[in-house]
Structure 1
Amino acid sequence: MSVVGELSTLRRRVKGGKEETPDNKVAYLFLAPWLIGLFGITIGPMIASLVLSFTDYNLLQPPNWIGLENFVAMANDARLHNSLRVTFVYVIVSVPLQLALALGIALLLDRGMRGLAFYRSIFYLPSLLGSSVAVAILWRQIFGTTGLVNQVLQLLGVQSPPGWISNPDTALGTIILLHIWTFGSPMIIFLAGLRQIPRMYYEAAEVDGASRWTRFLSITLPLLSPIIFFNLVLQLIGAFQSFTQAFIVSGGSGGPSDSTMFYTLYLYQKGFGQLDMGYASAMAWLLVVIIAGFTAVNFLAAKYWVFYDD
């Protein structure tokens, strides 16, 4: 009897001429909390927000069906267009820089320095704290008019340094720096990926006279490309949903001059500031489409640069 036949026989135990089916009640009992969360906290609210996106709803009165009016209004909303521009700049600039810094630190830690566990923990810490309210408040103080950055610049002889948070030209840059600073999570993933690359490849390349830069381009990057792709997708999704940093640094206004008006912050203002929940729901679904589009593009482009060692 084949292995498949034996497994089939074991799965279909017969008692009294009747086939006994496995009892899955215990499995569903253990899965119940997850299933309740999936349908009650995720799928249910998503369907409700999709329905509300076609209504005029202010939380105080019953929803009023208005069809596509919210989406038409979005096409003519200048502040929404600006929030998209700010968010795209934030994502396109901060994510590559963050991943580059994370990869650079991972390469340094991969060299086997003493106290690796300590440095790994220290570098990972910003990822745990970077999205917190406390760190955002601290960041606002550091880059304020009388903050630490300006105090250091004054000691170096710079007269009347600018208020980085209050200047529309630099306010977004401070939040980008905050995002880059939270490089710990992708760094840990990069470090794990580097540890999986066989050393024999580097030894063979070194024997052939390849320089360190050539080894990095020809061995490290191709073999690490699945990890780079994984981190890229995760960080893109997370960056598009950034909210706390912009809310705290700008005091919830998205200022100065809407220079830090992230899409999620504008969505929050429309939904909870102006109680326009129907419009906010439509904005939320536009964000879902944007994130899905960027993710799909990454997956389609992955076949041209992601190398899997099968």
Structure 2
Amino acid sequence: MSALAGAARRRRPGPLARREARSFYLFVSPWVVGFVLFGGGPIAASAVISLTDWSLLSSPSFVGLDNYVKLVEDPVFYTALGNTLYFAAASVGLGVVSTLALALLLNLPLRGIAVFRTIFYLPSVVSGIATALLWVNILHPDFGMINYLLGLAGVQGPGWLTSEEWAIPALVLMSVWGAGNTIVIYLAGLQGIPRSLYEAAMIDGAGWWRRLWHITVPMLSPVVFFNVVTGFIASLQAYVLVLVMTEGGPANATLLLGLYVYRQAFEYFDMGYAAALSWALFAIIIAVTLVQFRLARRWVHYEVA
């Protein structure tokens, strides 16, 4: 019997299995080729470049770990790191709370709710540059809409993008503008919660707040976790909107790591140091993500069939 079993395990796949295997490799090959050419290749190249001194105008010269030593001793790097962590934590925190609140409202069975869902989703399809230019005007200290509304209430609005104290909060406020994708994900999660759970809670006398805290939040925790992880990854890499709106100012108050990498690469042409900064940013993203997965064991609840 063992010999027959061994022969069966060693039996060659049939024509159908071989055809399925060929189809698999055929359909996956565009992604593999694309990843090697536009992903894996540049990633490997950046690791090599980070060990060189290369200004784009001359041939690269190998310097070993000098760029990483320079990074550790660079005070601007720590300024950018602090700004990046501050922006990421604040934007993700505000984004999670505001988008979840909007998703709860947009999940109500009201007439014309689809129109409001469309309205809240539309900003997410606007290009980043257009969004940046729009918010530069909204946050303008003299004729911006926010300071105008504050003035109607008798409050003197700050110079949002020109103030070291208010520049990051202004960017955080702007980051919520394009959260339509996150709202859609929350809506999908909310509509996947069994109605029977709410009905049982109402029979037991649970009010709105208890149903939200003991049913909605636990059942939605995997979705919240997904949005937190992806939000942190995106926020830690942010630089385009900051480049357009503040260029890292005033006095490096909005200098994020992504923008610092851009400066070193395309303003100072120090490609080796820019590559080292990129790998440092990659390590930070991995570390933050691992911490989030570790903490998720305490508050993320998965439905068991």
TM over 0.5: yes
Q: CA deviation at 1:186?
A: 1.2
Q: Cα–Cα, structure 1 residues 154 and 228, in superposed 2: closer, same or farther, change >3 Å?
A: closer
* Residues 216-231 of structure 1: pairs in structure 2 closer than 5 A: 216-231=212-227
Q: CA deviation at 1:33?
A: 2.5
| Matching residue of 1:247 | 243
C-alpha separation in 2, matches of 1:288 and 1:83: 14
Alignment check: 8 A CA contact 1:99 1:183 kept: no
**What SS class does the counterpart of residue 181 from structure 1 fall into?**
coil
**What percent of counterpart residues are identical?**
40
| Matching residue of 2:233 | 237
Q: CA deviation at 1:116?
A: 2.3
Q: Cα–Cα, structure 1 residues 155 and 222, in superposed 2: closer, same or farther, change >3 Å?
A: closer
| Matching residue of 2:43 | 46
Correspondence 1:277 to 2:302: no
Any unmatched runs of 5+ in structure 1?
Answer: 1-7
Q: CA deviation at 1:183?
A: 2.1
**What SS class does the counterpart of residue 48 from structure 2 fall into?**
helix
Could you report, residue by residue, the CA deviation over 1:197-249 in whole angstroms, capped at 9, with x for unpaired residues?
11111111111111211111111111111111111111111111111111111
C-alpha separation in 2, matches of 1:303 and 1:155: 47
Correspondence 1:296 to 2:290: yes
C-alpha separation in 2, matches of 1:32 and 1:151: 55
Q: Cα–Cα, structure 1 residues 20 and 43, in superposed 2: closer, same or farther, change >3 Å?
A: closer
| Matching residue of 1:136 | 132
Q: CA deviation at 1:42?
A: 0.2
Equivalent of residue 211 in structure 1, options 207, 212, 235: 207
C-alpha separation in 2, matches of 1:11 and 1:195: 47
Q: CA deviation at 1:297?
A: 1.1
Correspondence 1:31 to 2:28: yes
Q: CA deviation at 1:32?
A: 3.3
Scaled by the length of structure 2, what TM-score is found? 0.90
Q: CA deviation at 1:151?
A: 3.2
| Matching residue of 1:5 | none
Point out 4+ residue stretches in structure 1 off by more than 6 angstroms.
none
| Matching residue of 1:58 | 55
Correspondence 1:186 to 2:182: yes
Correspondence 1:164 to 2:160: yes
Any unmatched runs of 5+ in structure 2?
Answer: 1-8
Q: How many residues align?
A: 296
| Matching residue of 2:4 | none
Q: Cα–Cα, structure 1 residues 92 and 158, in superposed 2: closer, same or farther, change >3 Å?
A: closer
Alignment check: 8 A CA contact 1:172 1:260 kept: yes
| Matching residue of 1:3 | none
Q: Cα–Cα, structure 1 residues 168 and 21, in superposed 2: closer, same or farther, change >3 Å?
A: closer
| Matching residue of 2:6 | none
Letter of the structure 1 residue corresponding to residue 147 of structure 2: N
Could you report, residue by residue, the CA deviation over 1:242-270 in whole angstroms, capped at 9, with x for unpaired residues?
111111111x2x11111111111111001
C-alpha separation in 2, matches of 1:247 and 1:42: 24
| Matching residue of 1:119 | 116
C-alpha separation in 2, matches of 1:291 and 1:11: 44
Letter of the structure 2 residue corresponding to residue 299 of structure 1: F
C-alpha separation in 2, matches of 1:290 and 1:192: 31
Letter of the structure 2 residue corresponding to residue 283 of structure 1: L
| Matching residue of 2:255 | 261
C-alpha separation in 2, matches of 1:301 and 1:153: 39
Aligned alpha-carbon RMSD (Å)? 2.3
Correspondence 1:80 to 2:77: yes
Alignment check: 8 A CA contact 1:101 1:183 kept: no
| Matching residue of 2:141 | 145
Scaled by the length of structure 1, what TM-score is found? 0.89
Judge which range, 254-263 or 118-127, deviates more. Answer: 118-127
Q: CA deviation at 1:31?
A: 3.2
C-alpha separation in 1, matches of 2:82 and 2:172: 14
Alignment check: 8 A CA contact 1:98 1:181 kept: no
C-alpha separation in 2, matches of 1:99 and 1:11: 52
Could you report, residue by residue, the CA deviation over 1:155-195 in whole angstroms, capped at 9, with x for unpaired residues?
44456x43221111111111110112222111111110111
Letter of the structure 2 residue corresponding to residue 231 of structure 1: N
